Each structure stands twice: as structure tokens, then as C-alpha cells.
Amino acid sequence: VISQAMLTSNVKRDVIRCSTGKFLVLLMIGGLAYLMLAQRNHVPSVSNGVANGTSNKEGESTLFGGGTRLRNLWRRAPRLPPRLTPDEKATLINSIHDVGNVHVVLKWKERQESVKKAFIHAWSGYKNYAMGYDELMPLSQRGTDGLGGLGATIVDALDTAIIMGADEVVSEAGSWIEAHLSEKISHKGQVNLFETTIRVLGGLLSAYHLSGGEQEMNLTRKGPKPVVYLQTAKVLADCLLSAFTSSPTSIPFSDVVLRDCSAHPAPDGLSSTSEVSTLQLEFNYLSNPKYSQEAMKVMEHLKTLPKVEGLVPIYISPHSGEFNGENIRLGSRGDSYYEYLLKVWLQQGARQDGNLTYLYNMYQEAMKGVRNLLVRKSIPNGLVFVGELPSGRRGAFSPKMDHLVCFLPGTLALGATKGLTKGKAMEENLLTFDDMENLKLAEDLAKTCFEMYSVTSTGLAPEIAYFHVEDYSERGLDGGNKSSEYVNDIIIKHADRHSLLRPETVESLFVLYRITEDPKYREWGWQIFEAFEKHTKVDSGGYTCLDDVTVIPPRTRDKMETFFLGETLKYLYLLFADNSVIPLNEFVFNTEAHPIPVKRAT
């Protein structure tokens, strides 16, 4: 304004005549020239800052760069950007941090792809030598039917292929299901209610959802229309219902004959507690209440039975509706009872005031019972493990832990945060004292489960381990890895040294990584995967079980379990994936790793 006035008024002539005025004009012109020459370009350059890896003294990435250039002299100075809020600033810093650690992201992406390649290798062996059979015998290159002859590997592997984006496998598996499965259901003989529900029914329902059956999610455009999976699932479920309706109590019979949809108890007349209580996620997901009502009668009945600090015996009679015996354990025949107490409640929206709150209360009571009665530490190095009470509370404690028990760390962590990250749950003040106790126990048990792998010569865990405690030890039964810190803590008997390529440990590593965000769980998972690749991969296709994990080379068993594709490789893939892939607060995994969507609140 002053300059304009000087040029357009008599002030101009008056100032120029005055020597003082001349000096001031020169001073002003010199000052303006200095400002223009000293001006730097303050436009942020994110790409330059990241590419150069520059940072300021506070450890944040430098965003400012550039210098004086002749063409910039006459530019208008840029407007300053608005001041960032603290949340926006954190987001920016985090995004730059991610770019700065791009090699870490790429490392896990590459490892994820390695798991996908392993899945395709396993599938290729099955497709080439056993298509339509339940399981592959990879060494003799043939198929076998050990689960009723419904092509269990195909259905178990389908949603894994969908999640991995293995489109060719999705197309092959889906086409087989559309062409053959309904016919097989109507003609086959005896199947186990539990195994058929978790593997085949669960696999069909998960594939239905993930392929867009409810128009909320569609991870693939390959294979048949989603309704094919749902219709086949209902055909199967209608037949399986006979196990419930044929029983004189709320406890279903264990076996179903598919060709006439009849049911009968096991030869000893008993059902496994875990088997009768591990059907509800699948039957609840079917829209018709005739399915969920029959399945939920089991849980309502179990609620009324006497327990030992929430813990239950592993056998129950469908004739009397009462528990049989006093054997309490979280391994075979007991494990998924505790898992489904939590997951069925989560599936229905985890409401604290809902009709299924009793399930969560039963879960909480049981976990207190686990901590009080079953948790011990080994000697000399204090590994935390979960033992058994073969004769009930009044009998002796057994320091025996099945690999199956390694589902528990993941379940404990999921029960503590309900699928949220630990950080978010703590930030929102959602964790109780019991939640924190359970989360600590989960991390301790996960370490023990991992050490069951690293203590052996092959790096793979045995089916069963015993732990050295004050009143129990055996010499000469270690895992073979003499360099392990825990070689004297873990005892592996000769009859228990086999590996079935089980998923429970990597399942818990996946859940714990999602919840704690601790990268050690990914590293442990990668070590286990490398051991699978080194010792169980069959060149012609597929992976084989082992007879003895404590010696190298290990003796092999000629079988690839369906859950290696349906669970083990799926959990490893998700362990290395982004947390947004099948998020834990939107899905619950059935006990065969088939993701079922959580019911949303209305």
C-alpha cells in the first residue's frame, strides 16, 4: 500500500527530493531484494524425505526440502498448511513409519506367498492322486476314505483357497462339490456327527459366506453360485439332525447313517463331551431355527449338570444325559467344549445381557478352574503347562499335555479382548482382572507350545508331551535337540512321538499376534512352517505325517490329514497377513478353522 501511494501521489516527488527519503527508498528496495534472494521453497516433499531417509532431531521423518532457485524468486509464497490435529499427526507419522519399514512388510508378504505355494503343492498331490476321497496318502500316491467318503479334503480346503485367492483350486473344488457332494450324502453310510459337522458342514457354510452368499463379502468369482454351497449344507444338516431327534435326551448320538438318515450311539453307548458341544456354531448359522434349537438344547442341558470349578468329564451318556466317569482334561474329547462356550456367545454378538450370557459365565468359571486345578510349572526352567485329572479332583495330577491343548492360548486371548487388540481393549478400559490373568496365561502357554516344537530334532511337536515336575521325571526321553534350553523340562514317550501336522499351536500364534501385535509370534510360526517344509513335504505332491519327530531323518506316516489344508496352512497364511483379512471381531473360527460371521447387533 505504501509503495502504491508513493508511486501515485505527490508523496513520491517529496520523498525523492529528500536525501533521507532517498536513503529509505534504497533501504526498502534492498530489504525486498534480500527477502526474495533468501526465500526458500517450504513446500513439503514427502517422497524426497522418505526416499532419502532423512530425519530431524526428534526422530520424525523430515518433510521439508528444496533450495533457492532463480525460477522461484518471483513466485508467491505458498500458503501454510493447516496445523495437524494430534490424531492426524500420528497417522502421518505411522504412514511414514510403514514406508520406512517396507522391507518388513515385504518379508511377511513373501512368507505369506510361501504358505500359499505350500497349499497349492498339497492340493496338487490330492487332486492328482486322491480327488474325491477323504484324504491323500502322499507316499503311495492314492486316496483313502476315513471320514465317511464325502471328499472331506475338498470341502475342508475350499475356504482356505478362497482366502488365499487360489482361484484355480476354488474352481476345481467348487465344481466337484456342485457335481458330486449331494449325491454322495444321499448314498454314503456311517459318519461321525462331530467330524462331519466341523469339517464338511462348517466348510460349506464358510464357503457360502466368503463367496458372497450374503452379499456382504465376496472374495472369489470362481466356482459355482454361493447358493450351491448353502443348499448342499442344508441337505447334509437335515440328515445330521437325526442324531438329535433319535436320542432320548438332549445329548445327541455320535453316529449317523447318511443313506437313510438314521442315528445310533457309539459301541460303548457314550458320546464325547467335546463332540456334543461343538456343533452349535454351524447349526446356528443355518437360518432355519429347527437347526439351532436342537443344537442349543445341548448347551442348555450342560448348564444344569454338576461341574468341578467349571470343568467337566470327557464322556457323557446320551441315554441318561449325565456325565460318565471323572476324567478331566483339555485334550482329546474335552478341548472344544471350552472353546465353544466362548465362541457361540461371541457368534451371537457377545451381549452381556443376552439369552446366551450363561455360556460366557460358564467359560469364565471354567478358566478359573483351569488356573486353579490344571496349571503347573515344569522344572528346572518353569514352562507353564496344563495337565490332567484322570480320576477327577480327588485323584492324582498328571503332567501330560496333548498338542490339542495348544488351542487354549488363542481361546484365552480371544476371551480376554473379544477380538480387539490388547492396546485398544486397554485404551477403552475393557479388560477385567480375570481378562488380564487369562491373557498372561495365554502368552505363557503359547511359549510352552512353541518349545514343544523347538525341543525336538525336527523342530516339529509330538502328539503328546509330559513335563518334568517334582514327583514325575523320566530319563532318556527328551526331544533330541540338546541345544534347547528346555530339553530337560519336556519328556516325550516313544508312543507319543508322532506328528499329524496339527494346527492348534499356529492357531494360537495367529490369534495372539492379532491381539498383542507382538512380532515374535510370527517368527515362531515361520520356524514351524520351515520345519514342515523341510521334513514333511513330498516331492510328488502333498505333505506327510511323521512317526517320530525326535530323530533325523524322521520316519514317515503315509497320510495327509484334511486339517493340514483346512486349518494349519490357513492359520499360517493369516498369521503373515494383514490384520484386516478375516478380522477377529467380525468372525469366529469353528474348531476346524472355518470362519463364521459374527451376528451384528440390530
pLDDT digits (tens, 9 = 90+) for 579-600: 999 999 999 999 999 999 998 6
Per-residue HEC secondary structure of 256-310 comes to: EECCCCEEECCCCCCEEHHHHCCCHHHHHHCCCHHHHHHHHHHHHHHHHCCCECC
> Residue 305: pLDDT band by 50, 70, 90 thresholds?
very high
Q: Model-level pTM? A: 0.83
Q: What is the pLDDT of residues 325-342, one digit of tens each?
A: 999 999 999 999 999 999
Q: Are 178 and 224 in contact (CB under 8 A)?
A: yes
pLDDT of residue 10: 52
Name the β-bridge partners of 583. Answer: none
Does the structure show a pLDDT above 50 at 568? yes
Task: Write down the pLDDT at residue 90.
Answer: 53
Residue 409: in which H helix or E strand, if any?
A: helix 408-417
Listing DSSP states for 75-89 in one string gives SPPPPPPPPPPHHHH
Nearest to residue 480, comparing CAs of 399, 380, 555, 552?
552
Higher pLDDT, 30 or 326: 326
For residue range 33-51, list pLDDT tens digits in order. Answer: 777 665 544 434 333 333 3
Q: Mean pLDDT throughout 444-472?
A: 98
Model confidence pLDDT, tens digit, residues 547-566 = 999 999 999 999 999 999 99
Percentage of residues in the chain having pLDDT higher than 90: 78
> Tens digit of pLDDT for each residue in 392-424?
999 999 999 999 999 999 999 999 999 999 999
Side-chain-side CA neighbours of 488 within 13 Å: the count stands at: 6
pLDDT tens digits along 220-279: 678 899 999 999 999 999 999 999 999 999 999 999 999 999 999 999 999 999 999 999
Cell numbers of 46, please?
Answer: 514427502
Tell me which long-range contacts 330-334 makes (C-beta under 8 A, separation of at least 24). Answer: 330/370, 330/374, 330/386, 330/388, 330/402, 330/404, 330/405, 330/408, 331/388, 331/400, 331/401, 331/402, 331/404, 331/405, 331/464, 332/274, 332/402, 332/404, 333/272, 333/273, 333/274, 333/275, 334/273, 334/274
Q: Could you report the per-residue pLDDT of 481-532, keeping only the tens digit for each?
A: 999 999 999 999 999 999 999 999 999 999 999 999 999 999 999 999 999 9
Per-residue pLDDT band for 3 (boundaries 50, 70, 90) equals low
Q: Quick one: pLDDT at residue 239?
A: 98
Copy the grid coordinates of residue 346: 461371541
For the chain, what is the largest distance between any 2 Cα atoms, rounded to a whole number of angstroms? 122
Mean pLDDT score of the chain, rounded to an integer? Answer: 88
The residues annotated as belonging to the active site are: 195, 335, 463, 504
Residue 31 pLDDT level (bands cut at 50, 70, 90): confident
Query: Which residue has better confidence, 48 or 3?
Result: 3
Q: What pLDDT shows up at residue 26?
A: 79
Report the alpha-carbon distance of residue 58 to residue 374 in Å, rounded.
50
Predicted local confidence at residue 218, as pLDDT: 67
**Amino acid 81: pLDDT:** 39
Q: What pLDDT is stored for residue 82 in this prediction?
A: 42
pLDDT score recorded for residue 245: 97
For residue 493, count other CB atoms closer than 10 A to its CB. Answer: 13
pLDDT of 370 reads 98
Cα 511 to Cα 125, 504, 525: the distances in Å are: 29, 11, 12
Q: Tell whether the model's pLDDT for residue 198 goes beyond 50.
A: yes
pLDDT at 63 over 50: no
Question: What would the pLDDT profile of 116-168 be if each residue is shown by its tens digit?
Answer: 999 999 999 999 999 999 999 999 999 999 999 999 999 999 999 999 999 99
Across residues 412-438, what is the average pLDDT?
A: 97
591 among the known binding-site residues?
yes
* Confidence grade of residue 53 (pLDDT, cut at 50, 70, 90): very low
